[in-house]
Amino acid sequence: MNGILPLWKPKGMTSHDCVMRVRRLYKTKKCGHTGTLDPEAEGMLPICLGQATKIVPFLVDTKKTYLAEVSLGAATDTEDGQGQVVEQKPVTSFPPHEEIDHVLQSFKGTLLQTPPMYSAVKVKGKKLYEYARENKEVERPVREVTIHDIRLLSGKAGENCFKIEVVCSKGTYIRTLCADIGKRLGYPAHMADLTRTQTASFSEETAVDFETIEAAADAGQAEQLLVPLTAGLGHMDKLEVDSETKMKVKNGRKLPQTLAQHMKTDPFMVLHEKELLAIYQTHPEKHGQIKPVRVFPG
């Protein structure tokens, strides 16, 4: 059973919980998600089954879109609404929309983020949240992320919160972004709510929930909910090859760079009559050649 399940993760489940449940429903061990989503967040969590697990790294490395609620006046140790309040300041004057929008735009582009202590980032083989639970502070690695777009959706002065939409690169902590936005507005802040609306080409419109999956599984039709591997690689360019080249690709052969001279992405898909054969990239050592990164049997 090979394909991608466009799962809409419910609140209250970890991404790992979702994988385990999908494994049970599809009766398969070969299963993996494409980018952790916080337990209290909901949204798009594509899960790869069978041969699709080979494309997990390529699907993880795509743009994500989030809807988040920034709450002003209190910062927490987890940077979301589940943590302990560590700083408070009364919001005597809710920032006007123009000021909020100006601050939001200042975050566009490449920036450096320090992941929260309550996160799964590993330091010396141990997850940060494990240190946090032991009340131990460790030096956290600074990571470079990209905010492709960010905009204000609505604001509630009486509730001291506002909603934003963020399009960002992998590895971006929206919790941290919300806390940093608050700081620039002059207030301690935290993320009060989070929904991931899109991962690569997968959006809420194409998502399925566990209720739908379980009903399909009971009817013996769960496989029909899977989408092809190419749906998760829509951000890559496509190289169509002939029957002779197809056999070379199937055997994992290197090919001349001239075949891929019009490719706009690297790596890129290699197909024959719409069948995904492999993912290729420019050879890092041998000039004038391309090499397979993943080959798919079929």
Give the tens place of pLDDT for each residue, 143-188. 899 999 999 998 877 789 999 999 999 989 999 999 999 999 999 9
Measured at the alpha carbon of residue 33, what is the angle toward residues 236 and 129, in degrees to the nearest 5? 120
What confidence tier does 108 reach under pLDDT thresholds 50, 70, 90?
A: very high
Same fold, 64-194 and 236-295: no
Q: What percentage of the chain has pLDDT greater than the value 70?
A: 100
The CATH class that applies to domain 3-62+201-232 reads alpha beta
Q: So which residues are the catalytic ones?
A: 38
> Which two three-digit tokens encode residue 208?
């399925």
Q: Which residue has the higher pLDDT, 137 or 192?
A: 192
Q: What is the mean pLDDT of residues 276-280?
A: 96
Hey, where are the domains in the chain? Answer: 3-62+201-232, 64-194, 236-295
Q: How far is CA 262 from CA 111, 133, 169, 259, 265, in A?
A: 32, 52, 25, 8, 9
Separation of alpha carbons 23 and 12, rounded Å: 18
Q: Say what the pLDDT of residue 38 is.
A: 87
Give Cβ neighbours of residue 296 (< 8 Å, ≥ 6 apart). Answer: 51, 54, 229, 276, 277, 278
Q: How far is CA 216 from CA 1, 15, 50, in A?
A: 15, 21, 19
How far from chain centre, in Å, is Cα 100? 26
Q: Say what the pLDDT of residue 55 is.
A: 93
What confidence tier does 136 reach under pLDDT thresholds 50, 70, 90?
A: confident
Examine the pLDDT at 132 and tell me if it is beyond 80: no
Q: Which residue has the higher pLDDT, 128 or 237?
A: 237
Give residue 125's region: left, alpha or beta (phi > 0; psi -120 to 50). left
What confidence tier does 240 reach under pLDDT thresholds 50, 70, 90?
A: very high
CATH fold for domain 64-194 = Pseudouridine synthase (3.30.2350)
Separation of alpha carbons 292 and 249, rounded Å: 8
The CATH class that applies to domain 236-295 reads mainly beta
Measured at the alpha carbon of residue 69, what is the angle toward residues 93 and 95, in degrees to the nearest 5? 20
